[in-house]
Structure 1
Amino acid sequence: MSTSRPRPDAATRSTSNRGPAAADENRRALIAAAREIYSEDGPDAPFNAVAKRAGVGQGTLYRHFPDRLALAAAVFDENIAELEDAMREGGTIAVLFERVIDQASVSTAFIRLLSEQQNDQRARDIAARFEALLDRLRQEDQAAGRIGIHVEQLDVEIAVSMLAHELAFTPPERKPVVADRARRLFALAFAPR
């Protein structure tokens, strides 16, 4: 006679309370689920759908992210971390534009959420971190002669903002065309003179 308990199925395991040990895993699952949900359904997708997709309870969702903006900030925090890692060695503004194109294409809902809350401290913190990365890349590109010395920090910020915003509001089938046109415009505007 066996005394072992039956193993719970995947659905039972994913929603069982594993306590504080699961906090990081739950947070990652919520962010991944949010990317999927908002990519599929846009910024008005039900907030509780994120918890369901992540396989956690609503309490866990609200404990990590009390509102949509907190969740959007977490997604962008990850995006910026990825950009910072990718730009550590050999990063250029041109490479950054490519990454922004990739991220903007799947982060449309989050771009909308953050742009509507620009005065929120979380949005300002993300913006400041991103601006610091842009400024470093601009200075490195100018020192290497890849972009003109006429290019100022605000020029790069506006270019990236325009690119991300335009892609966020462009129908999926037109995004490649818009991204290509933006690449050409920025290459001309930033070229050394």
Structure 2
Amino acid sequence: MTQHPTSEERRPANRGPKAAAGNRAALVTAAREIYAVHGLDVPLSRIARRAGVGQGVLYRHFPDREAIAVAVLEENVRQIEQAAAAEGATPAGVLGVLTWHLTQSAAFIGLLHADGASGRLPAHAFARELSERVERALRGCLPEGHRLGAPDDLMLAVAMVSGAVTGPTHRERAHRALAAWRLLGVTVGPVRPFEG
């Protein structure tokens, strides 16, 4: 029996070498979407199909499964930093962006606790670096006297909320995350990606 690819898996024509940056961005977006639904064990070929590129293109940008997962985490942190640096940034708004990334990236918690990662940093050092960048971004928009302003409170609250982010759908994970923030007495803006 012949199986036909779904619309999600159909590949458009190769866009050529000049499209490298666009291909990389498409791969990161596809990986985020697929990992959020199916976890880290999804075949890399599925990510390539979702991004509209061949597997060779995927491997030119990301030599292995960990490399693409790390790229998604880097992009998550970069968006949180951009949200915090945006004009008129508020703690509630930035926490909404952070919460969106937590609900989209729950599958990556395992990566951050792995014994080692290919690439420039061991997993624990990489996780610490990402955590420090998120903390700096969040602290930069907290007003003096904010409920999370004490030295350890901010990242402890983030860790507690990330532990509550469970459930089979984005909606359920977002609901649980917002409930956790509410129990901590912290106001969070809309749970959505940063749109700068």
The TM-score bracket by the shorter chain reads 0.7 to 0.9
User: In the alignment, what sits opposite 2:146?
Assistant: 146
Deviation (angstroms), 1:29: 1.2
Change (3 A) 1:17 1:138: closer
Does structure 2 retain, via aligned residues, the 8 Å contact 1:97–1:160?
no
Distance 1:53 1:30 in 2: 8
Change (3 A) 1:16 1:49: same
Specify the structure having the higher radius of gyration (Cα): 1
AA aligned opposite 2:16: R
Deviation (angstroms), 1:87: 0.6
Post-superposition, which runs of at least 4 consecutive aligned residues in structure 1 deviate over 6 A? none
Does structure 2 retain, via aligned residues, the 8 Å contact 1:84–1:133?
yes
User: In the alignment, what sits opposite 1:165?
Assistant: 163
Greater relative contact order (Cα 8 A, min sep 6): structure 1 or 2? 2
Structure 1 or 2: more helix by fraction:
1
Q: How does 1:28-177 map to 2 (within 5 A)?
A: 28-88=25-85, 89-109=87-107, 111-117=108-114, 119-120=116-117, 121=121, 123=123, 124-125=125-126, 127-135=128-136, 137-138=138-139, 141=142, 143=144, 145-147=145-147, 151-152=150-151, 154-167=152-165, 169-172=166-169, 174-177=172-175
User: In the alignment, what sits opposite 1:183?
Assistant: 181
Change (3 A) 1:118 1:127: farther
Distance 2:164 2:115 in 1: 17
Unpaired runs of 5+ in structure 2?
A: 1-9, 187-196
Unpaired runs of 5+ in structure 1?
A: 1-10, 189-193
RMSD, matched Cα: 2.8
**Scaled by the length of structure 2, what TM-score is found?**
0.71
Distance 1:139 1:65 in 2: 32
Deviation (angstroms), 1:58: 1.2
Does structure 2 retain, via aligned residues, the 8 Å contact 1:31–1:71?
yes
Does structure 1 retain, via aligned residues, the 8 Å contact 2:91–2:141?
no
Deviation (angstroms), 1:41: 1.9
Deviates most, 22-31 or 173-182: 173-182
Deviation (angstroms), 1:148: 6.3
Change (3 A) 1:118 1:92: farther
Identity percentage of aligned residues: 35
